[in-house]
Chain A
């Protein structure tokens, strides 16, 4: 005898602890099986792009901080590179090194949140606290550098707002030393935890071709098996001077491109970032970090698409200049915005509980999705 079943629509969010912000997922269910997922976004929309059109180029920088608020350094970096290309400025070597150090520290901090909250979403609360403990140390490093802990306004067009604190290099070296053993602890606690693997391996498998067609970038794309990292493939700043690997998903615990792979790529990327920081602080040149900041910022007519590898993927700024002191148009290609589209594709056929596991592995920041 077969029992007649009916489809049910269930709203997850906007106020749901594991949607990482205000995101509403409209789930269509058959029993506990997902048939369709429709993400509804826009709850944090503040029309960043409209703001940019009425403020001057340097004034845009604090606004970029507030998009992906977990990786503010990366956001500033991408925007500033674009404007510098429009202006044709060459920045001093020391500035580039400091920018890379900051961007990589930020990547570690951001991945720590991704990893920690991912564990917490699935039910492992302890690693979450460990991750926040380590992230706190990175935030203190930022604090002695520029006074702010989350939203920095540190990377300026043509330079930086402050030079490094005299203690910065010593403290960073201490942090790296301490953090390495913490990372081992984290791996034992979460990465190779049997329960964690059971919840994430073979869940939400993303084949490479689908990923490319959906424009997926960042750790998600690499977890599907493609060695693609803008730091190497479309190199910017001084990344070509450093030696680092690009980790890709190998399907160690299940299939290539599953949630565990996406998680594990982030863990490996933290180690690579540590490598870059180590090389950078050992070879940082001397110089003045404010010497190349232009007095008047008025780029010539033209347009530019500049992009950087942010912790969540490719962050692109399409800037159009009409020759005045404020941009004519700024379009942001936010990695989370593009990556979130894949939810329906990934969740179909899984259980409701897996939606949380998949959403956590996509790792979105709603401030950036909605802009």
Chain B
């Protein structure tokens, strides 16, 4: 069993050319921030490095950080532009019983992250869910379709903080 610092150190020494941030300012769980185009490589390394052996992806959750700048349009309605979205990866090694939390930050206007399905098959539906509810595109995902919402849903991605409910769906009024 390795501590968070030890795992972070191993990643640091092996990926010196990649920018990795360690954050523990947030209470409770420290995490590593990894750039979106390197996440698949790092995950593969974490899974196959014999002393780490992160054989299971426990959870993958996308979050709309809602940290853009507020802009007022002509009618006086406030809208948010810019900002970021994050994806959290909870990894665990069943063999060694250690855990780690990785975080990838991506641009909200064009969210784009490399898929980790090739590393863990369990990521498949988690990533589809993140695509469906947040609109995050996962590069190299084998089957990136909507999963929970109807396949023909054309009103955006409901878990975004600035999502607006449509008035009609296929000619039916949606009461709220």
Taking Cβ atoms with an 8 Å cutoff, the residues of A that contact B are 41-42, 45, 47, 49-50, 53, 85-86, 212-216, 226, 228, 233, 300-305, 307, 314, 316, 318, 320, 328-329, 331, 333, 337-338, 340-341, 370-371
Contact = CB atoms under 8 A, between A and B. Distances in A.
B110 interface: no
A318 B28 contact: no
Contact of A318 (B88, B122, B158): B88
B140 interface: no
B159 interface: yes
A53 B28 CA distance: 21
A240 to B, nearest CB: 15
Interface in B56-80: 56-59, 61-64
B56 A301 contact: no
B55 A333 contact: no
Contact of B147 (A41, A228, A338): A41
A86 B28 contact: yes
A294 B148 CA distance: 35
Given A85-B28, A333-B59, A338 B122 contact: yes
A326 B120 CA distance: 33
Contact of A213 (B97, B121, B161): B121
A316 B59 contact: yes
Given A50-B158, A318-B88, A338-B122, A212 B148 contact: no
B99 to A, nearest CB: 9
Nearest to B26: A302
A42 B148 contact: yes
Contacts of A214: 120-122
9 contacts: A41-B147, A42-B149, A214-B122, A215-B121, A305-B58, A305-B101, A316-B59, A320-B63, A331-B63
B26 A333 contact: no
Interface of B: 26-29, 55-59, 61-64, 88, 90, 94, 97, 101, 120-122, 124-126, 133, 146-150, 158-159, 161
A341 B59 contact: no
Nearest to B47: A213
B126 to A, nearest CB: 8
A41 B57 contact: no
Nearest to B92: A234
Given A45-B148, A213-B55, A341-B121, A304 B158 contact: no
Given A45-B149, A50-B159, A318-B88, A213 B61 contact: no
Contacts of A371: 148
Contacts of B56: 212-213, 215
Given A233-B97, A320-B63, A331-B62, 9 more contacts: A42-B148, A85-B28, A213-B55, A214-B122, A302-B26, A314-B58, A333-B59, A338-B126, A341-B125
A370 B27 contact: no
A233 B57 CA distance: 16
Q: Which residue of B27, B28, B63, B97 has the most chain A CB atoms within 10 A of its CB atom?
A: B28
Given A41-B147, A215-B120, A341-B122, A302 B27 contact: yes
